[in-house]
Structure 1
Amino acid sequence: MMRNIVRALISGVAISAAAATLPASAWADTLFGAMEKAYITNPTLNAARAGQRATDELVPQALSGWRPTVGASAEIDKTYANGPVGVDVDGDIVRDSSDQFSGNLAIQLNQPLFRGFGTVNRVKGAEARVDASKQNLLGTEQQVLFDVVQSYMNVYAGRQFVVLRRQDVAALQAQVRAARDRFTVGEITRTDVAQAEARLAESQSLLVNAQSDLASAVASYVQVVGQEPGKLNYPKVVSIPNSLKTALDIAGGINPQLLAQAFVEVARGNDIKVAFSNLLPSADLVATGVRDDPDLQKEDNHSNSFQIGAQLSIPIYEGGLVYSQVREAKQLASQSRIQVIEVARSVRQAVAASWNEYVGLAQIIRNTRTQVRAAQLALNGVQQEYQAGTRTTLDVLDAQRDLVQAQVLQVTAERNRVISGYQLLANIGHLTATEVGLKVPVYDPDENYRRVRNKWIGTDVKTVE
């Protein structure tokens, strides 16, 4: 069975790779449609949601420190007795054998009254860690959606590259035929033919590379989205903040990576108080009920007792362990404070870099479009001059190469601008299903948290499917 599964998976990858070399399918995929598909089915995102639900359990675990614990113990014994009980008329010792069953049942309730404020701070720390996990989940959501954008644009641009390379190969094949014809009639030399053939071989190699890159892009698309790409449409340019300062201000308030680290710092601060609570007294209310039956074979031979009392425990010296734990917690809290600064600087750098790249690519796209138009005009002119005998074969080949390179630069810049725009949204914290406006049921991490927070008993769960 395992071999069949492996074969199926390999076949799926092979089909995806083969599809990369075929014409686009009849159906069309929009970028938002691909993101919506991934938002619902992507295993990385769903696994992160399951992990978030597990983190939710930290709070009820911490709250259990307020709640009573109840335990029961039972014991049953069988006693064998064989001993003398007297002497008969002949003077022989009379012995008697008997069995006796005894039992004991005890139930104890322990209600914590005071834990040196440890429970209070343990709950606060757990809540902060749940909040940090929610921000990490948002970060995963943004990363998955950005991966969709990147793979989508790589497939879109990859198909354009393959088309351009095929057109280049076709043009160079025509150039080689023309060069051979002119060589036959003595208009050009063998060198001109060799130059055209060499350029054709180079273009054919570049076509193979483009097809290979497209196959890889399709495989990445299938990995992230979960299905093969159809006919992809060029997406609209995203709406971004109107200034870098605005983008930085928004990122400082909602970037998931930054907020997650801030919540970790809060949790670490509460860890100090939790560790310190072990140096303070603790108090418990203890109630115990016991039923003792020395002989289960006799009726009304049992006794019942009930005891209730309070226990106070005062630590005096723990061998230095608790002091070390407090110092450790303080160092970790200090580390978290520094990491908040580190993450803030990293976020600021990422926002500034993606902003500048996005703005710069607008000008690059305009330049490449001008470059393509000029290269096309130059190629047309060189070809006419070549027919008139005033240009060489190499001049035509160079003009053809300049045109293809300009077209590749244009497609690359258009792809990069879309990617950089969504990268900017992710760095700010706006690349989420809610902010982008995906038409999907938005996952609510608070739903499971509300379900389990005050749950006292039960092992049933609602898992992510």
Structure 2
Amino acid sequence: MTPSHLPRPGAGKTSLRAALRTAGLLSGTAFCLAATFVAPATAQTLQEALAQTYANNPTLATARAQLRVVDENVPQALAGWRPSVSITGSAGYAVANARQRANLANGQRIGVTSDQERGIGSVAATVSQPLYRGGRTVATTRRAENQVLAQRARLLATEQQVLQDTVTAYVNVIRFQEEVRLNLNNAQVLQRQLDATNERFRVGEITRTDVAQAESRLAGARASRADAEGQLQNSRATFLRTIGVAPTRLTAPQPLTPAARNNQDAAQVAALNNPAVVAALFDEAAGRDAIDIQLSTLLPQASLQAQAFRNDNQTVAGTRGIGESVTATLTVPIYQGGAEYSAVRQARQDASRLRQVVDDQRRAASAQASTAWETLGSARATVESVRAQIRAAEIALDGVQREAVVGSRTTLDVLNAEQELLNARVSLVRALANVVTASHSLAQAVGRLTARDLALPVALYDQEAYYRAVRDRWAGLGDYSVPQAVRQ
């Protein structure tokens, strides 16, 4: 289930900055934002943010620790093949009173009482080796290995979700920064327009209504700016929580090249490669193994036991017993109350349930991929439409302003044209942000939004390192985890 490689996130054709420049948002006296997007040496790129998240995100670290927990199921299952060795010892003190009858020379019989005091002790060493457990060890090992593979898929799902959250947080900071700037510049333009409107009102060119309309529009612009500033602070907090560092100078990211050729291809790849589907498949395999585990309770059990022992003064003082024994035991269950039959039936129903989960996850993954594909296409179409809208709105605003000078247009007409242009520019910022996030969502749906697929500049976590370290280990209490191992 190794995902295929995707191009770096710089492979797309349209960046947020380039589109903003094309739309005129980075030029002109009212929207001088180009300096903001100049990438200095200390700029944070999306690649760097993703690498930072991959290395330090606590949610991802938790998922890795959970995988190591599940890895331990395998050595626990393999322990069923191994012998158990124990030493048992006991020590104590015993006092006994013995009475017996004795015959005298004259024919009389008398009772003779004697007290006995002795120290008692015993020690035994026992080795037990299972020979046959009804197939339980084999089935338990298979189930444990399937559980490990399912948990690895869940780790990939967590990795993808964390990286997607990083992309969303990164893009949202840029988006709301742009919205704040657009609203700030709009408020400045409206302030100058209100000043001009007041001047014209003083000389009697316009009425008080025109002034009130300009004041109302300025108040609305200030409210929009305050709302955008609040959204920006929220996005900064989300950025810090997800990535672990505060945003500084972010460079506008580019969308990923689509991870599928069309909608149908995306759905088919997701049905096979989505980590949730892969995890469900291994869960279903583990469910089938659970049936064999429960069936083992109905089959014969065989074991071999060897023991060496020493017993001192167990019955009479001054005695010692030393010996060895080897015992083979065969147990054939006949009837144990019926609970074991219920457990087999229960395991079969659970396996049936897990088969349905596989189908459900496949449908969900296909639907997620189809939705992501359509969302990406819709966002791209929106970008093109809004660009055309901006060009037309700019021409319309220029015309309305010229007509207002000669008196054929009112102040309200100018305000409406300016608001329409602002709304279009804000819509473009949002649409471009949607293109970036939707392209990553599509990669996530088909199982290719991983550190390896994105070629992140970070040491990849080795999912198998801990498994290899503990699988065949017979003993040991150390920590064999390798937090950041490079996968070869």
Q: Normalising by the residue count of structure 2, what TM-score does the alignment of the two structures yield?
A: 0.85
Judge conservation of contact 1:368–1:409 (CA < 8 Å) in 2. yes
Q: Return 425-434 or 455-464, whichever deviates more.
A: 455-464
Judge conservation of contact 2:268–2:366 (CA < 8 Å) in 1. no
SS of the counterpart of 1:237?
coil
SS of the counterpart of 1:232?
coil
Judge conservation of contact 1:118–1:274 (CA < 8 Å) in 2. yes
1:314-371 CA-to-partner distances (Å, cap 9, x unmatched) read: 1111211011111110111000111111110111111011111112222211111111
1:213 is the counterpart of 2:228: no
Structure 2 residue identity aligned to 1:57: E
Query: Match for 1:264 among 277, 283, 298?
Result: 283
Judge conservation of contact 2:121–2:313 (CA < 8 Å) in 1. yes
1:143-201 CA-to-partner distances (Å, cap 9, x unmatched) read: 00000000000001010000001011111111211111111111111111111111111
Residue 373 of structure 1 and its aligned partner are, at CA, apart by: 1.8
Q: How many residues align?
A: 436
Query: Match for 2:375 among 357, 377, 393?
Result: 357
Distance 2:362 2:386 in 1: 36
1:279 — aligned with what?
A: 298
For 1:149-298, list aligned pairs within 5 A: 149-240=167-258, 241-294=260-313
Residue 105 of structure 1 and its aligned partner are, at CA, apart by: 0.5
Give the 3 Å change call, closer, same or farther, for CA 464–151 of structure 1 in structure 2. farther
For 1:286-435, list aligned pairs within 5 A: 286-294=305-313, 302-435=320-453
Residue 310 of structure 1 and its aligned partner are, at CA, apart by: 0.9
Residue 244 of structure 1 and its aligned partner are, at CA, apart by: 2.7
Distance 1:159 1:216 in 2: 12
1:123 is the counterpart of 2:138: no
Structure 2 residue identity aligned to 1:215: Q
Q: Return 390-399 or 356-365, whichever deviates more.
A: 356-365
Distance 1:368 1:135 in 2: 40
Distance 2:347 2:207 in 1: 82
1:11 — aligned with what?
A: none
1:113 is the counterpart of 2:128: no
Distance 2:481 2:183 in 1: 49
1:94-153 CA-to-partner distances (Å, cap 9, x unmatched) read: 999875222100121111111111111111111101100000000000000000000000
SS of the counterpart of 1:192?
helix
Distance 2:99 2:305 in 1: 46
RMSD (Å), alpha carbons: 2.4
SS of the counterpart of 2:89?
strand
Distance 2:482 2:66 in 1: 10
Q: Return 195-204 or 373-382, whichever deviates more.
A: 373-382
1:57 is the counterpart of 2:72: yes
Residue 375 of structure 1 and its aligned partner are, at CA, apart by: 1.3
Judge conservation of contact 1:275–1:325 (CA < 8 Å) in 2. yes
Distance 2:449 2:205 in 1: 61
For 1:134-153, list aligned pairs within 5 A: 134-153=152-171
1:430-458 CA-to-partner distances (Å, cap 9, x unmatched) read: 00011111111111111110111111111
Judge conservation of contact 1:49–1:464 (CA < 8 Å) in 2. no
For 1:451-462, list aligned pairs within 5 A: 451-462=469-480
1:20 — aligned with what?
A: none
Judge conservation of contact 1:67–1:112 (CA < 8 Å) in 2. yes
Judge conservation of contact 2:465–2:481 (CA < 8 Å) in 1. no
Judge conservation of contact 2:270–2:362 (CA < 8 Å) in 1. no
Judge conservation of contact 2:166–2:239 (CA < 8 Å) in 1. yes
Task: Give the structure with the larger helix fraction.
Answer: 1
1:35-84 CA-to-partner distances (Å, cap 9, x unmatched) read: 00000000000110000000001111111111111122111011246899
2:46 — aligned with what?
A: 31
Structure 2 residue identity aligned to 1:157: R
Structure 1 residue identity aligned to 2:72: E
Q: Normalising by the residue count of structure 1, what TM-score does the alignment of the two structures yield?
A: 0.89
Distance 2:180 2:45 in 1: 20
SS of the counterpart of 1:100?
strand
